[in-house]
């Protein structure tokens, strides 16, 4: 097992450097030079321009610039935002919990509903319910989620007035950010109604963000379940006279869930990408909205290192899923 982890870790390092190379190159690909971009559209005095180039180390050869960049990263220096003058890292830390909260809520929604629908569809293979689930999940998979969000807002917020249109919490409440997770912070703050308000803000974005994972998980659970239900041990369990519920949920589902869990892990990337759209629609103050706003404001340090941070996150999640998968399935561990 240790050698398996070591091998995976070994693969991680070149990937990490590759990503830094990518984010480094991204900034160099901007038409025009970074100093002109930073100083705005007005004409830049050549002397000041040269000074800025010198200060930022942009007059050095490319490999030296890259080494500088890596060196700064190693010291935990991710640069500062051009707009707020705050460090990119601290901005990321304040906004990140909001995205995690949203993503977890979406995964919870997609996971419970998706596994349940997938199991029932597999058990009633060929039935109307099965066809319905498969149809709906293909529709969900094809969904432009930015539109889906607008439709839900139009129906539930504007039409019925059940949920708020945007944000994480009503302005009436002054919540101390202790954990960064609004649901926990509102409980800690003991302000009346704050928790329910936060929950109502969370529901629609979570549904929107969870729609595509829901479709994928339902399809995956169904096909994994169909495969497992054919196995001998399921027949044996039935023959032993175990209750149908026990056979399905203990004997079959546990094995069917292994591939589904992998899909869960792979969906993290989809969730982060989806968060960009969902957060933009619902004005959810997370890293997705932060990134899009920074792009609009040409705040390149934020764009560059925000993307780097997200990529590292995805790499780490994939690594963890790999390791967990190796733990659950020895055959993977001993490959090659």
Partner 1 sequence: MNTTTQPLRAEAPLAEPVALYPSPLKEFWQAFSRNKGAVGGLLFMLLVVFCALFAPWVAPHNPSEQYRDFLLTPPMWLEGGQAQFILGTDELGRDLLSRLIHGSRLSLLIGLSSVLLSLLPGILLGLVAGFFPRLLGPSIMRLMDIMLALPSLLLAVAIVAILGPGLNNTVFAIAIVHLPAYVRLTRAAVMGELNRDYVTAARLAGAGLPRLMFVTVLPNCMAPLIVQATMSFSSAILDAAALGFLGLGVQPPTPEWGTMLASARDYIERAWWVVSLPGLTILLSVLAINLMGDGLRDALDPKLKNAV
Q: Please report, for residues 167, 246, 256, 269, 299, the alpha-carbon distance to residue 98 in angstroms, rounded to integers and kept in the order given.
A: 10, 38, 32, 16, 21
Between 22 and 64, CB nearer to partner 1: 22
∠ at Cα 289 (283, 294), nearest 5°? 130
Does residue 277 belong to the site contacting partner 1 (CB under 8 A)? yes
Provide the token pair at 230: 């054919």
Does residue 261 belong to the site contacting partner 1 (CB under 8 A)? no
Dihedral sign computed on CA atoms, order 253, 258, 262, 268: positive
Between 182 and 306, CB nearer to partner 1: 306
∠ at Cα 232 (231, 237), nearest 5°? 105
Show the binding pattern over residues 3-32: x = contacts partner 1 (CB under 8 A), - = does not: --------x--xx--xx--x---xx-xxx-
Contact 254, 296 (CB under 8 A): no
* Element at 221 (helix H, strand E): helix 194-229
**Smallest distance, partner 1 to C-beta of residue 6, A:** 18
- Taking residue 109's Cβ as centre, other Cβ atoms within 10 Å add up to 19
Of 23, 140, 106, nearest in space to 284 by CA: 106
Query: What is the rounded CA–CA span in Å between residue 251 and residue 119?
Result: 13
Between 180 and 269, CB nearer to partner 1: 269
**Smallest distance, partner 1 to C-beta of residue 51, A:** 25
Residues in the chain: 336
Does residue 50 belong to the site contacting partner 1 (CB under 8 A)? no
Sites for partner 1 among residues 306-335 (CB under 8 A): 307, 310-311, 314-315, 318
Show the binding pattern over residues 143-172: x = contacts partner 1 (CB under 8 A), - = does not: xx-xxx-xx-xx---x--------------
Of 151, 164, 148, 135, nearest in space to 106 by CA: 148
Stretch that binds partner 1, among 91-99, 121-129, 242-250, 291-299 (CB under 8 A): 291-299
- For partner 1 (CB under 8 A), the number of binding residues is 51
Binding residues for partner 1, rule: CB under 8 A, are 11, 14-15, 18-19, 22, 26-27, 29-31, 138-139, 141-144, 146-148, 150-151, 153-154, 158, 216, 219-220, 223, 226-227, 263, 269-270, 272-274, 276-277, 280, 291-292, 295-296, 303, 307, 310-311, 314-315, 318
């Amino acid at each position: 097992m240790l050698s398996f982890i070591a091998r995976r870790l070994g693969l991680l390092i070149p990937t990490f450097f590759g990503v830094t190379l990518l984010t480094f190159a991204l900034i160099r690909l901007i038409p025009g030079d970074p100093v002109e971009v930073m100083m705005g559209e007005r004409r830049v005095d050549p002397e000041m321009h040269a000074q800025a180039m010198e200060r930022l180390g942009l007059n050095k050869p490319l490999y030296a610039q890259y080494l500088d960049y890596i060196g700064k990263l190693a010291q935990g220096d991710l640069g500062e935002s051009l707009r707020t003058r705050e460090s990119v890292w601290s901005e990321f830390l304040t906004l990140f919990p909001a995205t995690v909260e949203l993503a977890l809520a979406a995964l919870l929604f997609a996971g419970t509903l998706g596994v349940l629908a997938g199991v029932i569809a597999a058990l009633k293979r060929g039935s109307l319910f099965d066809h319905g689930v498969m149809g709906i999940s293909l529709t969900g998979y094809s969904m432009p989620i930015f539109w889906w969000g607008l439709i839900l807002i139009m129906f539930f917020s504007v039409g019925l007035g059940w949920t708020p249109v945007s944000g994480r919490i009503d302005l009436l409440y002054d919540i101390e950010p202790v954990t960064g997770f609004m649901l926990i912070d509102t409980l800690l703050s003991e302000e009346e109604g704050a928790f329910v308000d936060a929950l109502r803000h969370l529901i629609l974005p979570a549904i929107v963000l969870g729609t595509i994972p829901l479709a994928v998980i339902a399809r995956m659970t169904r096909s994994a379940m169909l495969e497992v239900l054919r196995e001998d041990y399921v027949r044996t369990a039935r023959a032993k006279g175990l209750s149908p519920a026990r056979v399905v949920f203990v004997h079959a589902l546990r094995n069917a869930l292994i591939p589904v869990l992998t899909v869960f892990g792979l969906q993290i990337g989809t969730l982060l990408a989806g968060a960009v759209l969902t957060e933009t629609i619902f004005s959810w103050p997370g890293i997705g909205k932060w990134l899009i706003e920074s792009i609009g404001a040409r705040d390149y340090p934020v764009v560059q290192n925000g993307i780097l941070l997200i990529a590292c996150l995805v790499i780490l999640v994939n690594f963890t899923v790999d390791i967990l998968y190796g733990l659950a399935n020895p055959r993977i561990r001993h490959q090659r």
